[in-house]
Amino acid sequence: MLHISRWMKKEVISIPVNSSIRQAIQLFLDHHIGTLPVVDESNHLVGILRLQDVIDLGMPDFIHLVTDFDFLHGFGAVENQRPDPAIFEKDIKELMIEAVSVHEDAGLFRTAALLHKHALRDLPVVDNEGRLVGIASHVDVGVALLSFWIS
Amino acid sequence: MTLTLSSAVSALLFAICLALIFSEKVHRTIVAVFGAVLMVAFGLMFGFYNEEQAVASVDFNTLGLLFGMMLLVAMLEPTGFFEFLAVWVGKKSKGRAASLLFLLSLVTSLVSMFLDNVTTVVLIAPVTILICEILGFSPQPFLISEAILSNIGGISTLVGDPPNVLIASAAGFTFVDFIIHSLPLIIFVWLSAFAMLSWMFRGDLRQPSPNAEAIQSLNPQEAYTDQPTSRKVIAVIVLAIVFFFLEELLKIRPALVALAAASLALMWIRPNISDLLKRIQWEILLFFAGLFVMIGGIQQAGVLDIFTNLIVQLVSLSPALAGLILLWSVALLSAIVDNIPITITLIPIIQHLILPGSNPSFLWWALVFGAGLGGNGTIIGSTANVVVVGLSERTRLPITSQTWSKRGLPVMLLSLVVISILYLLVFQSFS
């Protein structure tokens, strides 16, 4: 079996659970990434903060309410809006989703299926104690599978 | 009336069920079904009610009319017709807040006169939020006005509001009766409510949009996703309305018209039936049926005679005063609790009134206006209010019950004052 640990990124950028949204934004900017695993003091995975959840802070409300907005060709006043900066001082706990992870010994298909099921782009990889040891993006996993198919 | 064991048992059961419905601890449909079964069981046990009487007390006219209209709306819903209307009038407003408020409220009210106003609000409110956001307006004034004015609009026709359907069926009112007696009065009420809402929201409405030209980026045609189906359903609805007008001439009941229209549309469009039936509000139909059976029980047990006598005494003092008292008490009750059980309870009471030298039409109209207007006062007063508030809770500016009371309560009181004056002015025409 192809273990995910062979394909994952071992240098993970993670964020301590008691950080603010502003600190998370800085990490997203500095490292140009889309997912931040949230960890406690002993590096146990406790949640996931996705770039899209942070972006949602500034998204217009209607995108969650209308069934489609194909008839809308410009977002007008929305384009000039920024979220209230006070919201950046809030805890990331308010935005993060519950922890989803895969064990480092898991296979590629299990990893791919979990990414698909939870609509994630990156999946944290943990060891036996639930400590964060890596992260596998859907591109890492997909490319690994493709290379296996044509080998 | 002497207090018998039957009347005591049935009245107690009904009171407990009403309390459960109004407390909202158990879903009202579950209470209605459970209560109906118990009422029949007690009826058999104490000999005041049986299965045949229970079935006979279900008003199939009301259920048929509601079901037929629900089927038509369910066919129209996925076609993008409602979204198209909202986007179209949004564009017509040219991004001016006051015009937007008027046009959106008007279109919601007009549609609510013929189709279920909850569906109308469910589909138009999200587009309202979209238009407000691209224009940089707060959606609150628009959402509150849409709900309140569509509730008012619904009172003007027989099919506009479930209490109207119930009352028309019991009183024998036709579609034309509503056009003659309700519509003209409701136009005045609508205009005064609109004026008051525009005045209360004048601060918001004066703000120019920072992006008025954004309205040009809307393309109504693109929101209208299934025009062929929509045209067919609308053609059938228009045909149904024509037949509603001919009700007396052709001696047909509105339920038959609605069911015939729905069958015609079904045959013409042939939609996926299981998807369509999922969009029918079964819980409302079942709720009505359960309440009918319960009310039939307490009526057979003689409980309602007390209230009938009370109204007879009031009417003998002054018919107009009795009408106004009924209108206001129903309205104030409807502001805090569901107006459907109130209407269903009052119907047999008024139906069995024997008034010397007059018919009780003026009381029926008082019930129509009271049940229709009362719901505007509070956040929970009508289903449209609940829907709009539910949507706003998913935005950054949720409508709180304080906000609603600050805006809705004054509008409700004003509309009740206006309707009371009009009611007295045209009182003679009611009987």
If pLDDT is split at 50, 70 and 90, which confidence band does B271 have?
very high
Return mean pLDDT, chain A. 94
pLDDT (0 to 100) of residue B2: 52
CATH number at residue A52: 3.10.580.10
**pTM for this entry:** 0.88
Least confident of A15-19, B10-14, B355-359: B355-359
Q: What is the tally of structural domains in chain A?
A: 1
Residue B98 has pLDDT above 80, yes or no: yes
The minimum CA-CA distance between B396 and chain A, rounded to whole Å, is: 7
Give contacts of A 132-151 with B, CB under 8 A. Answer: none
> Looking at the predicted structure, is the pLDDT value of residue B224 above 50?
yes
Distance CA B302, CA B18 (A): 18
Average pLDDT of the segment spanning B212-224: 90
Q: Is the pLDDT of residue B355 over 90?
A: no
Model confidence at B311: pLDDT above 90? no
Is the pLDDT at B359 greater than 80, yes or no? no
CB contact under 8 A, B396 and A61: yes
Q: Which residue has the tokens 């018998």?
A: B4
- B194: closest CA of chain A, how far (Å): 25
Q: Do B83 and A72 touch (CB under 8 A)?
A: no
pLDDT classification of B317: cutoffs 50, 70, 90: confident
> Which chain A positions have a beta carbon within 8 Å of B126's beta carbon?
62, 65-67
pLDDT of the residue at B1: 44
Nearest to B214 among A61, A68, A77 (CB): A77
Question: How do the domains of chain B map onto residue ranges?
Answer: 6-57+81-224+281-430
Scanning every residue of chain A, which has its alpha carbon at the shortest distance from the alpha carbon of B131? A62
Q: What pLDDT score does B4 carry?
A: 84
Distance from CA of B390 to the nearest CA of A (A): 11
> Which is more confident, B418 or B302?
B418
How far are the Cα atoms of B44, B63, B173, B344 from residue B165, in angstroms, in the given order? Answer: 30, 9, 9, 11
Looking at residues B325-353, what average pLDDT do you find? 89
Reported as a single tens digit per residue, the pLDDT across B166-197 is 999 999 999 999 999 999 999 999 999 999 99
Does position B25 have pLDDT exceeding 90, yes or no? Answer: no
Residue B163 in this model has a pLDDT that exceeds 80: yes
CA distance B336 to A114: 48
Banded model confidence at residue B354, pLDDT cuts 50, 70, 90: confident
A12: helix, strand or coil: coil
| Contact: B214, A62; criterion CB under 8 Å | no
Characterize the bridge pairing of strands A97-98 and A45-50. Answer: antiparallel
The count of CB pairs under 8 A between chains A and B is: 74
Confidence at B39, pLDDT banded by 50, 70, 90: very high
* Minimal Cβ distance to A74: which of B133, B214, B225: B214
Mean pLDDT to the nearest integer, B216-245: 94
C-alpha dist (Å) from residue B361 to B175, B181, B358, B366: 15, 11, 9, 9
Calculate the average pLDDT of chain B.
91
Per-residue pLDDT reduced to its tens digit, B375-388: 898 888 888 898 89
State the average pLDDT over residues B111-137.
92
Find the domain containing A58 and state its range. 4-150
The average pLDDT across B300-319 equals: 84
Q: For residue B337, give how far its alpha carbon lies from the nearest alpha carbon of chain A (Å).
A: 28
pLDDT tens for residues A76-128?
Answer: 989 888 999 999 999 999 999 999 999 999 999 999 999 999 999 999 999 99
Q: Which residues make Cβ contacts (< 8 Å) with residue B191, sequence separation at least 6? A: none
The DSSP output letter for A20 is B
| pLDDT (mean) for B247-261 | 92
Whole-number pLDDT of residue B357 = 63
A77 at B interface, C-beta within 8 A: yes
Looking at residue B356, its pLDDT comes to 66
pLDDT beyond 70 at B3? no
Question: Backbone phi, then psi, for A135, in 5-degree steps?
Answer: -145, 135
Residues A40-49 have a mean pLDDT of 96
> Best interface-test mutation with B: which of A63, A68, A71 has the largest number of B CBs within 10 A?
A71
Which candidate from A64, A70, A80 shows the least CB-CB separation from B222?
A: A70
Residue A73: its chain B contacts at CB < 8 A? 217-219
Q: How far is A79 from chain B (nearest CA, A)?
A: 8
CB nearest to A66's CB, from B127, B210, B221: B127
Q: How many residues belong to chain A?
A: 151
